[in-house]
Amino acid sequence: MRALLVVNPAATTTSARTRDVLIHALASEMKLEAVTTEYRGHARDLGREAADSGEIDLVVALGGDGTVNEVVNGLLHNGPDLDVLPRLAVVPGGSTNVFARALGLPNDAVEATGAILDALAHRTERTVGLGLAAGTPGTEDESVPERWFTFCAGLGFDAGVVGRVEQKRELGKRSTHALYVRQVVRQFLEEPRRRNGSITLESPGQEPVDDLALAIISNTAPWTYLGNRPMYASPGASFDTGLDVLGLKRLSTAAVARYGTQLLTSSPEKGPRGKHALSLHDLTDFTLHSKAPLPFQMDGDHLGVRTSVTFTGVRRALRVIV
């Protein structure tokens, strides 16, 4: 087997020594080329080269969710092709590792590597569905290129939090869960559209849903983690179905306290609910329009502001070693 290992040297939970151990472990079982990323987007470029080469059987992403997202977008730059594209394996090295954990992998890089080697030995894999987002034709965002996401996207409040965290990290702050909590509070205090939402959700054959203050799109559950606590925005979301949406129409102090508590106590059976909460399951195509530009994120990566985004749930998009 010929494999490419894409290594993010800035992965927050792995040391250089640990990465060397993992590389040697993988190289003992396959013909491995390890490449360390050098710039933002490098993992995407490496994934694209692997997909186009026709010579790579497996791409292993060692890093956090951002590294995985880049590799996936590189692999799928010409769209899904299960018979041709390399398979993907993920060694978690970030602070949260939502995609890897949603696949059932251990959240420890060494243990996850062992699980991947076992899966390769037993030839076990699964085919997962993914989400695709693009600028909406006929809007000012129509030129925004399409991009794949593995576990979530968000327009509005949660994307604003992600943007704040990225700003702090650029100033040298470590990506910790305490940092996220602080930015949630600051985003809430400074959010100008907490009471009157500006988002409209349109889905073919359905009545539009207006005045959403935020929209969280999930491709799997849980949506994220707070430390070791899983949080389920859409408990029914799955790699085997389309996309799920949680929309909230009000972000008053009382509403945020209620829905925040529901998220913290959510489970695979029960997520946020109430008269100002919208829950939609297994959507294939829909669009979010906003009356004003809002922050947008995918897989925890802040992508600036958007006024309109079109989403597609693509079943059976990629083969993953688990």
The residue type of 282 is: D
114 pLDDT tier (thresholds 50, 70, 90): very high
Burial class (CB in 10 A: 0-12, 13-18, 19+), 33: middle
pLDDT at residue 295 greater than cutoff 90: yes
Look at residues 74, 17, 9 and name the one whose alpha carbon lies nearest to residue 48: 74
199-202/224-226 β-pairing: unpaired
**Which pTM value belongs to this model?**
0.93
Least confident among 129-143, 185-199, 236-250: 185-199
3-state secondary structure of 258: helix
CA distance 300 to 16: 24
User: Residue with structure tokens 């997520």?
Assistant: 271
pLDDT for the residue 193? 60
pLDDT for the residue 8? 95
pLDDT for the residue 192? 63
88 pLDDT tier (thresholds 50, 70, 90): very high
CA distance 14 to 8: 10
pLDDT 10s digits, 158-217: 898 888 888 887 888 876 777 878 888 888 777 766 567 899 999 999 999 999 999 999
pLDDT 10s digits, 261-282: 999 999 999 999 999 999 999 9
pLDDT at residue 13 greater than cutoff 90: no
